[in-house]
């Protein structure tokens, strides 16, 4: 049976497994098509593809781009991208440079509330020094005994309104979509249920996403409850968009949902994977 999971992380961004370990885990969970979608970096794709060949599963190149839309940070996944395309490569490079500067500021803010050495500490947890993300800070803060787990660190220190939160300007929505489209990829709005915005704002986000060439919504993802799955299934049907399915797996013990362990797409949603494997006509 087909089991398609198009949103996963490795140690190239804020995941806990190497690309090879991720692919092996996914394959052993019965995943038949996997995408690695590290934040703002495509450095794990070659390794993951090799491991997928060994494991006998289909591999789709992916990336998850951080975007600033108004006051919100939203994420856009690019699927089936050409990771060598210069427009995408240069765009991602620009985003990564901003991450390092932001991480230093996060370290300064945490020092003010008694958490010393957080920038260096987070760096120690980041395999790729160009992608220092909040989970790396969270792991350091847990290690230092200031909280019992990563999720508690986010609630206490790292989300909007908390002492270690630093506002940051990521890519514009139009830029991120341009980079993905230039690299022949399919832009997917990631985990739309996670954005704290009312209905009218969501409609205008979707309007802009479509206007700039967005093609799919992640309807099934680990942090959507049943109601959210249905809400975004309706958006997809109404706007004639494609639907994606991805666990957003980061690592054992840190994610609620393992690769491939997700519900099916709801009835009437056109799967985004039709784009690279069109349904047979008979
Ligand atoms: P960053 O891109 O550095 O802002 O980090 C964002 C990442 O932090 C997301 O991709 C998730 O992996 C993680 N994250 C965000 N919010 C939470 C949360 N409330 N609890 C646990 N992890 C979170
Ligand atoms: Mn992440
Ligand atoms: Mn995300
Ligand atoms: Mn993700």
pLDDT in tens, 155-210: 999 999 999 999 999 999 999 999 999 999 999 999 999 999 999 999 999 999 99
Sequential DSSP letters for 83-103 = TT-HHHHHHHHHHHHHHHHHH
Residues across the chain: 282
Compute the chain's Rg from CA coordinates: 18
Phi then psi for residue 206, to 5 deg, are -65, -40
Contacts of 90 (CB under 8 A, 6+ apart): none
| CA gap 138, 158 in Å, rounded | 8
Strands (E), the chain: 4-5, 33-36, 58-69, 72-79, 186-189, 216-221, 242-246, 270-271
Tell me the three state secondary structure of residue 171. Answer: strand
pLDDT at 281: 63
Q: What is the mean pLDDT of the chain?
A: 97
pTM of the model: 0.97
44-47 contacts at long range (C-beta below 8 A, 24 or more positions apart) = 44/10, 44/11, 44/12, 44/13, 44/18, 44/19, 45/19, 45/83, 47/18, 47/19, 47/20
Residue 133 Cα, ligand 2 centroid: separation in angstroms? 7
Ligand 1 atom 13: the closest Cα is on which residue? 135
CA distance 171 to 163: 24
Q: Which residues of 91-126 are buried (b: 16+ CB within 10 A; e: fewer)?
A: bbeebbeebeebbeebbebbeeeebeebbebbbebb
pLDDT at residue number 280? 62
Nearest CA to ligand 1 atom 20: 151
Confirm or reject: Cβ of 149 under 6 Å from ligand 1: no
**Mean pLDDT on 241-250:** 98
178, 217, 183, 250: which is closest to 75 by C-alpha?
217
Per-state percent for the chain, helix, strand, coil, to nearest 5? 40, 15, 40
Q: Identify the three-state secondary structure at position 156.
A: helix
Q: How far is the CA of 281 from the centre of ligand 4 (A)?
A: 34
How far is the CA of 27 from the CAs of 6, 53, 100, 201, 257, in angstroms? 13, 11, 34, 38, 15
Closest protein CA for atom 22 of ligand 1: 151
The response to whether residue 133 sits with its C-beta less than 6 Å from ligand 1 reads yes
The answer to whether residue 264 scores a pLDDT higher than 80 is yes
What sections of 116-187 are H helices per DSSP?
118-125, 134-143, 150-153, 173-182
Do 20 and 48 form a contact (C-beta atoms < 8 A)?
yes
Mean pLDDT to the nearest integer, 235-258 = 96
Closest CA to 5 of 228, 249, 181: 249
How confident is the model over 47-77, as pLDDT tens digits?
999 999 999 999 999 999 999 999 999 999 9
Check: CB of residue 70 under 8 Å from CB of residue 161: no
- Residue 278's pLDDT band, with cuts at 50, 70 and 90, is confident
Residue among 9, 135, 136 whose CB has most ligand 1 atoms within 8 A, to mutate: 135
The residues that bridge with 8 in the sheet, in sequence order, are 249
Nearest-angstrom CA–CA distance, 28 and 272: 23
Contact by Cβ (8 Å): 131, 39 = yes
């Amino acid at each position: 049976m087909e089991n398609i999971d198009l949103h996963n992380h490795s140690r190239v961004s804020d995941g806990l497994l190497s690309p090879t370990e991720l692919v092996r885990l996914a394959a052993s969970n019965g995943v038949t098509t996997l995408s690695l979608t590290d934040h703002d970096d495509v450095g794990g794709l070659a390794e993951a593809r090799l491991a997928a060949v060994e494991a006998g599963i289909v591999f789709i190149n992916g990336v998850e781009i951080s975007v600033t839309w108004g006051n919100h940070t939203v994420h856009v996944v690019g699927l089936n991208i050409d990771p060598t395309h210069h427009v995408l490569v240069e765009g991602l490079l620009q985003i990564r440079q901003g991450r390092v500067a932001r991480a230093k500021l996060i370290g300064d803010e945490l020092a003010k509330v008694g958490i010393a050495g957080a920038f260096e500490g987070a760096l120690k947890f980041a395999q790729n020094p160009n992608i220092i993300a909040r989970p790396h800070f969270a792991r350091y803060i847990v290690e230092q005994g200031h909280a019992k787990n990563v999720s508690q660190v986010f609630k206490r220190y790292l989300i909007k309104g908390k002492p270690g939160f630093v506002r940051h300007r990521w890519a514009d929505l139009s830029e991120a979509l341009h980079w993905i489209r230039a690299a022949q990829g399919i832009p997917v709005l990631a985990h739309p249920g996670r954005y704290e915005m009312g209905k009218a704002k969501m409609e205008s986000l979707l309007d802009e996403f479509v206007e700039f060439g967005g093609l799919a919504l992640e309807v099934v993802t680990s942090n959507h409850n049943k109601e959210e799955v249905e809400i975004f299934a309706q958006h997809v049907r109404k706007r004639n968009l494609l639907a994606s399915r991805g666990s957003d797996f980061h690592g054992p013990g840190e994610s609620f949902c393992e690769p491939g362990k997700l519900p099916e797409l709801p009835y009437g949603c056109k799967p985004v994977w039709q784009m690279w494997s069109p349904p047979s006509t008979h």
